[in-house]
Amino acid sequence: MSIKAIVIGGGYAGALAANHLRMRTDVDVTLVNPRSEFVERVRLHQLTAGTGQATVDYGTLLGESVRLVVDSADAIDAGARTVCLTSGGTLDYDYLIYAVGSTATIPSSVRGASEFAYGIAELEPALRLRARLEELPVDAPIIVVGGGLTGIETAAELAEQGRVVTLVCGRTLAPSFSRWGRRAVARWLSRHGVTVVEGAMVSDVGPDKVVLADGLVHASALTIWTGGFGVPGLAAASGLRTDELGRLITDETLTSVDDDRIVAAGDAAAPSGQPLRMSCYAAGPLGAQAADTVLSRIAGTEPAPINLAFSGACVSLGRRTAVRQVARKDDTAVNAYIGGRAGAAIKEFTCRFAVTRIRREATRPGSAMWLKGGPRADLPAARQAASS
């Protein structure tokens, strides 16, 4: 008798998890995703600027036995082990992997932001932003809000095309980078004419301006909001315990604290209530580990705890330059980075590898590998001991 496994969400974590589950031939895998194409979120800034594409045909990514259901999940009934779909149908499961990913957030507390600012973290907003950019003259002033990696990449992509860009950072530029990494990013932005405003909060967004909390007004023909991510509310709406952002709370094996038939992966997981950094880098390995947890439970063995280690982060600066920030295994930046064309080569390899890894898992289930770091450094010692 076959075992039914449903994966909700077909991003980096979900697609890899679906392929990885095929290590057992008696598992029927269904992937539920609202789009018929895989979205490379790490390339959405390229899609917006018209310098690249950001979608891949699922037919080239998923194993032949994975069933793709193009729909959205409205609710999870853990008691009945069913998923209610937006279309009105339901799907039964024996095990469920919750990989709904993350979403862009435009704060309602900033007047006019939800009405006039454009997001970039998802495919549909990115396409709307691209259409708006095509309407603007090249010298129209553009404001990018958010000094994190998404904001930097967006500002850089547009500046390399000769656009007039101001980058408004709520705190500092690239706060997750080391001092030397930030300097390298700042130098590139300065050379390409990007005005960087640090330590500035936005209070108002209008159709032709951005007002900062200190009263300073910047002209803006287009405002792009990249400050912050949220997660879909599916878990909370389904009565499962979540953290304050809405991520599903799990133990260190990625199993829901409410139901051992539900396992989480990617940006929407909060292991021990202490989630890892939202990133493509972590999503793939977490997807594989979530699938391993399900396979362990089917086999009646004890699932392994998270042992993912970080090695740094990379930010692209246009099409020919990037900064690869080196970090310790606990994701703490060190004063070392790789820049220039070498950094760009690393960035492109990383983006391609994220998709290649999913594709390889489709042909060779179980091939996914990741850097192991032992018990998580951010956990209390007692919890580390319990999970090791």
Give just the sign of the alpha carbon dihedral 19, 21, 27, 32: negative
Mean pLDDT of 256-276: 96
Same domain as 251, residue 372: yes
pLDDT in tens, 332-348: 999 999 999 999 999 99
Cα dihedral 123, 124, 128, 129, rounded to 10, equals -30
Task: Count the domains in the chain.
Answer: 2
- Averaged confidence pLDDT in the chain: 93
Same domain as 221, residue 144: yes
Give just the sign of the alpha carbon dihedral 360, 365, 370, 376: positive
Mean pLDDT of 100-128: 93
Q: How confident is the model at residue 371 (pLDDT cuts 50, 70, 90)?
A: low
Percent of the chain residues topping a pLDDT of 90: 88
pLDDT in tens, 27-51: 999 999 999 999 999 999 999 999 9
Domain presence at residue 366: yes
Same domain as 70, residue 127: no
Same domain as 219, residue 120: yes
Residue 382 in this model has a pLDDT that exceeds 90? no
Residue 313 in this model has a pLDDT that exceeds 70? yes
Residue 174 in this model has a pLDDT that exceeds 90? yes
Same domain as 243, residue 95: yes
Return the pLDDT at 4.
98
Same domain as 88, residue 236: yes
Last-in-domain residue among 205, 225, 245: 225
Return the pLDDT at 104.
83
Domain presence at residue 271: yes
Q: How far apart are CA 133 and CA 138, in angstroms?
A: 9
Question: Can you give the CATH number for the domain in which 167 is found?
Answer: 3.50.50.60
Q: How confident is the model at residue 227 (pLDDT cuts 50, 70, 90)?
A: confident
